[in-house]
Structure 1
Amino acid sequence: MFEAARDLEQVRQAVVGERQRLGQAKLLLEQQLGKEFSLKTLKRFLKKLSAATNGYEKE
């Protein structure tokens, strides 16, 4: 659904802007990206990004 290389910055900005309301971030991203997805998909993408960046911090 998301392409990390292309969508990463938009997802990051939306989540930072709506930290406490992922539902609002989801609606904003759907408009910006022109894609529909579930809140669960957004959470999985964020978890994947978090796991990837946490691995780099430990090195």
Structure 2
Amino acid sequence: MMKFVKNYMESIDGVAIYPIFSLLIFFVFFVILFWWVFTAKKDYINKLSQFPLDNNDKTDLTS
């Protein structure tokens, strides 16, 4: 089965770009995630951390 997949993948032109593209998407996603974590306001993070424990029916996180 692996021999078939390997031979099939080798026959596709430009197949080497897919792992590079996947790594780029992965890297960009986590860079954006880290940027958001470090620039998020502390009040907003505290609201989000208390949200599962809050018994109120309040769903507005912006106020």
Which range, TM-score by smaller chain? 0.3 to 0.5
TM-score of the superposed pair, with normalisation by structure 2? 0.32
Output the TM-score relative to the length of structure 1: 0.33
Which structure has the larger Rg over C-alpha atoms?
A: 2
Question: Which one has more relative contact order, counting CA pairs under 8 Å at least 6 apart?
Answer: 1
